[in-house]
Structure 1
Amino acid sequence: MRDTLPAGASRPALEMIQEETAILGRIGDLETRLACTSAEIEAAQAVRFNVFAKEMGAVLPPDSMRRGRDIDAFDAVCDHLLVFDRTIVGSSEDQIVGTYRLLRQDVARANDGFYSTSEFAIDDMLARHPEKRFLELGRSCVLPQYRTRRTVELLWQGNWAYSLEHGIDVMFGCASMPGIRPEAHALPLSFLYHNRLATGEWSVSARPELYNNMDLMPKEAVDARSAISALPPLLKGYLRLGAVIGDGAVIDHAFGTTDVMVVLPISKIDKRYLNHYGADASRFAS
Structure 2
Amino acid sequence: MSVDLLKREIQEDIQREQEPQPALPADVFGRIGSMETRLARNSREIESAQAIRYKVFVEEMGATLPPEAMALRRDFDIYDEICDHLLVVDTALTGEPEEQIVGTYRLLRQEVAMANGGFYSASEYDVAPLLARHPEKRFMELGRSCVLPHYRTKRTVELLWQGNWAYALRHNMHAMFGCASFSGTDPKNHALALSFLHHTVGMKDEWAVSALPELFQSMDMMPLESINSKQALMALPPLIKGYLRLGAMVGNGAVVDQAFNTTDVLIVLPIESISGRYINYYGADAGRFGG
TM-score by length of 2: 0.89
The residue number in structure 2 matching 1:167 is 172
1:117 aligned residue (108, 113, 122):
122
1:24-80 superposed Cα distances (whole Å, 9 cap, x missing partner): 010011011000101100010001001101111100000000001001000000000
Structure 2 CA distance for aligned equivalents of residues 59 and 21 of structure 1: 38
Unaligned stretches of 5+ residues in structure 2? 1-23
Structure 2 CA distance for aligned equivalents of residues 65 and 20 of structure 1: 36
Superposed, 1:203-282 pairs within 5 Å as 203-278=208-283, 281=286
Identity %: 62
Structure 2 CA distance for aligned equivalents of residues 21 and 152 of structure 1: 21
Structure 2 CA distance for aligned equivalents of residues 176 and 237 of structure 1: 13
DSSP 3-state at the match of 2:214: helix
How far residue 140 of structure 1 moved from its aligned partner, in angstroms, is 0.2
Task: Report if aligned partners of 1:21, 1:34 keep a CA contact under 8 Å in 2.
Answer: no
1:240-269 superposed Cα distances (whole Å, 9 cap, x missing partner): 000000000000000000000000000111
Are residues 1:63 and 2:64 paired?
no
Aligned length: 265
Unaligned stretches of 5+ residues in structure 1? 1-18
How far residue 275 of structure 1 moved from its aligned partner, in angstroms, is 1.6
2:158 aligned residue (149, 153, 160):
153
The residue number in structure 2 matching 1:35 is 40
Structure 1 CA distance for aligned equivalents of residues 279 and 286 of structure 2: 8
Are residues 1:51 and 2:56 paired?
yes
Structure 1 CA distance for aligned equivalents of residues 62 and 74 of structure 2: 14
The residue number in structure 1 matching 2:14 is none
* Structure 1 segments (4+ residues) deviating >4 Å: none
DSSP 3-state at the match of 2:222: coil
Structure 2 CA distance for aligned equivalents of residues 96 and 172 of structure 1: 24
DSSP 3-state at the match of 1:278: helix
**1:158 partner letter:** G
Task: Report if aligned partners of 2:177, 2:267 keep a CA contact under 8 Å in 1.
Answer: yes
**1:98 partner letter:** G
How far residue 168 of structure 1 moved from its aligned partner, in angstroms, is 0.2
**1:69 partner letter:** R
Task: Report if aligned partners of 1:21, 1:36 keep a CA contact under 8 Å in 2.
Answer: no
Query: What is the CA RMSD across the aligned residues, in angstroms?
Result: 1.3
